[in-house]
């Protein structure tokens, strides 16, 4: 089965209309009608030298050891697949299990899993030309395959809404079904365990941890939310379930994922606030992020681990109250 895509699938051909090319970004997403091409060109003209210089450094770096400092500055798009695969352990899994992904696709499948995945196909990135039936190749088939294979690989999870967006981004970056499958396994099985299981304990725990961090770092925000009876979990659930997909700009999300694959889930609490001021619904979260980044060492791994243990025990106790 062919699971490799032409890297030129997101590029405009020589015969394409130049205006059509400008309306679509390098990832295949259509730009909004109010997109400022003038501001974008001005930004890119200044940023191009930085990107070129960084790409050259990464080319040299890949001959040696990957370091956190480079990852946090952003992995060049052409190197992302290699870095994500190596940093997450997905490459080791792929090499240890040759043919495993294809064997799942050839096996008999649970019709219920197939049905729920198919229902989400048309809802996955309708603004991205690579996921349209008219596209050649169309990533919808690859997306279906990756989700179907993972649903049968991890039967405790199966399929959960939100996974389609994660798998879609992985395909946009890797252009490879099998690599996307193993990266998804690294994310959902190792980096973010229990996020998509029926109990969603890991998700609930991290939502609670973020709430505790807001209460500790910016109590004024916490008080406002309590005064207006705002359920914290309703505000942040989509951020965690979709890993900021459709919440932040594409490149910002990919920068977060660079760190997520390399450093682990703690990065979800230390998201760079540069893209968030544009999201009005999450304005209060910006205050928290600014507070986090203004304090040197304000969010250590030890702090997150301690809060996770506390929140996990609290949630478990609430779900399993002692009998009298």
Q: What is the DSSP string of 147-167?
A: HHHHHHH-TTT---TTHHHHH
| Two structure tokens written together for 145 | 């395959």
Question: How confident is the model at residue 111, as a pLDDT?
Answer: 95
Report the pLDDT value the prediction gives residue 222, as an integer from 0 to 100: 76
Q: What is the DSSP secondary-structure string of 95-113?
A: HHSTTHHHHHHHS---HHH
Distance CA 92, CA 114 (A): 28
pLDDT at 21: 57
- State residue 233's pLDDT score: 74
**What pLDDT, on a 0 to 100 scale, did the predictor assign at position 89?**
93
pLDDT score of 129: 92
Concatenate the DSSP letters of all residues of 189-257 into one string. IIISTTSSSTT-HHHHHHHHHHHHHHHHH-HHHHHHHHHTT--HHHHHHHHHHTTTTTTS-HHHHHHHH
Non-local CB neighbours of 11 within 8 Å, separated by 6+ positions = none
Residue 119, both tokens: 């229902």
pTM of the complete model beyond 0.75: no
Position 274 confidence tier, pLDDT thresholds 50, 70, 90? very low
Query: Of 52-66, 70-84, 113-127, 248-262, which range is least confident?
Result: 52-66
Summary mean pLDDT of the chain: 79
What percentage of residues in the chain have a pLDDT greater than 90? Answer: 34
Residue 272, both tokens: 């760079």
* Whole-angstrom distance, CA of residue 235 vs CA of residue 93: 35
b/e 19-43 (16+ beta carbons within 10 angstroms → b): eeeebbbebbbeeeeeeeeeeeeee
Q: Is the dihedral of CA 250, 252, 256, 262 positive or negative?
A: positive
- What's the CA gap between 262 and 258, in Å, rounded? 6
Cα–Cα distance list, 99 to 84, 157, 182 (Å): 20, 22, 12
* Residue 214 to residue 221: CA distance in whole angstroms: 7
Residue pointed to by tokens 């001005």: 42
Of the pLDDT bands very low, low, confident and very high (cuts 50, 70, 90), residue 179 is: very high
3-state secondary structure (DSSP) of residue 128 = strand
Range in 137-141, 193-197, 210-214 with the lowest mean pLDDT:
210-214
Ramachandran angles phi, psi of 128, nearest 5°: -110, 125
193 touches 150 (CB < 8 A): no
pLDDT reading at 324 higher than 90: no
DSSP for 18-40, please give it.
Answer: HHHHHTB-TTSBBPPTT--HHHH
Structure confidence at residue 95 (pLDDT): 96
Res. 225 pLDDT band, cuts 50 70 90: confident
- Quickly name the fold that domain 201-319 has: Cyclin A; domain 1 (1.10.472)
The values of phi and psi at residue 29, to 5°, are -85, 135
305-319 per-position pLDDT tens digit? 888 788 778 887 776
**Per-domain residue ranges of the chain:** 74-191, 201-319
pLDDT digits (tens, 9 = 90+) for 282-293: 445 554 444 444
Better-scored residue on pLDDT, 216 or 279: 216
User: According to the model, what pLDDT value does residue 283 have?
Assistant: 47
**Hey, how many other C-beta atoms are within 10 angstroms of the C-beta on 144?**
19
**Architecture in CATH of 74-191:** Orthogonal Bundle (1.10)
How confident is the model at residue 180, as a pLDDT? 98
- Summarised one tens digit per residue, pLDDT across range 26-76 is 778 887 777 777 777 776 676 667 777 777 776 666 555 556 777 888 888
Asked if residue 249 has pLDDT above 80, the reply is yes
């Amino acid at each position: 089965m062919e699971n490799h895509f032409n890297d030129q699938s997101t590029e405009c051909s020589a015969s394409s209309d130049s205006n059509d090319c400008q309306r679509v970004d390098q990832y295949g997403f259509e730009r909004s009608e109010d997109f400022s091409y003038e501001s974008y060109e001005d930004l890119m003209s200044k940023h191009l030298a930085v990107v070129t210089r960084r790409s050259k450094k990464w080319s040299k770096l890949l001959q040696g050891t990957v370091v956190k400092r480079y990852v946090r500055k952003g992995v060049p798009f052409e190197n992302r697949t290699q870095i994500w695969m190596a940093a997450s352990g997905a490459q080791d899994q792929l090499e240890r299990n040759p043919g495993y992904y294809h064997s799942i696709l050839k096996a008999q499948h649970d019709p219920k899993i197939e049905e729920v995945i198919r229902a989400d196909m048309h809802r996955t990135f309708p603004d991205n030309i690579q996921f349209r039936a008219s596209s050649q190749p169309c990533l919808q088939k690859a997306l279906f395959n990756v989700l179907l294979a993972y649903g049968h690989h991890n039967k405790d999870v199966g399929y959960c809404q939100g996974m389609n967006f994660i798998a879609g981004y992985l395909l946009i970056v890797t252009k490879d079904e099998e690599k996307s499958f193993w990266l998804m396994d690294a994310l959902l099985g190792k980096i973010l365990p229990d996020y998509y299981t029926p109990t969603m304990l890991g998700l609930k725990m991290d939502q609670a941890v973020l709430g505790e961090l807001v209460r500790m770092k910016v109590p004024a925000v916490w008080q406002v939310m309590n005064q207006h009876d705002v359920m914290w979990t309703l505000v942040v659930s989509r951020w965690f379930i979709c890993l900021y997909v459709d919440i932040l700009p594409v490149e910002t999300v990919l920068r977060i994922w660079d760190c997520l694959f390399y450093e682990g889930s703690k990065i979800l609490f230390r998201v760079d606030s540069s893209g968030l001021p544009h999201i009005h619904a999450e304005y209060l979260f910006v205050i928290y992020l600014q507070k986090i980044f203004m304090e040197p060492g304000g969010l250590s791994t030890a702090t997150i681990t301690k809060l996770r243990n506390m929140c996990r025990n609290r949630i478990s106790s609430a779900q399993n109250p002692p009998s009298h």
